[in-house]
Amino acid sequence: MNTIAIGLDLVELDRFRLLYGAFDSDVLDRVFTARELAFEGTDADRLSRLAARFAVKEAVLKTVGGLQDGIAWTDIELLSDGVSAPHVEVSGGARAAATALGISDWLVSVTHGTQSAAAVALAIGDGRT
């Protein structure tokens, strides 16, 4: 396995709150999968955790050349069981873009605090096929 690309993203919580803070289900459903939304629950820290998930999506997108026609936000899903390290699953257009670049998986690290959320995604694979 080789390192193919790296993506980094920082989300300011105040700005994220303006865009997603109302938790409008139509808006959230365009960005997050049902599994992601179910995992995050409804408690007071939900906004910062969703912002962290958004940062992961942005970081992964950067490894495949950014948001393009045919890639939906929900094509990139951050999954976690709350115990082991989070992992990314991609589908649809994101999977096609990754495959074209020879990316087979990502290693991700994510963090969030009171002001911001950040993520880094390391794309790994055999390279362009």
Judge whether 58 is annotated as a binding position: yes
Tokens of 128: 């362009």
**11 to 65, 93, 97, 104, 126: CA distances (angstroms):** 19, 24, 24, 26, 30
Q: How many CA atoms lie within 13 A of 80 on its CB side?
A: 19
Q: Residues within the annotated binding site? A: 9, 58
Q: Residues within the annotated binding site for Mg(2+)? A: 9, 58
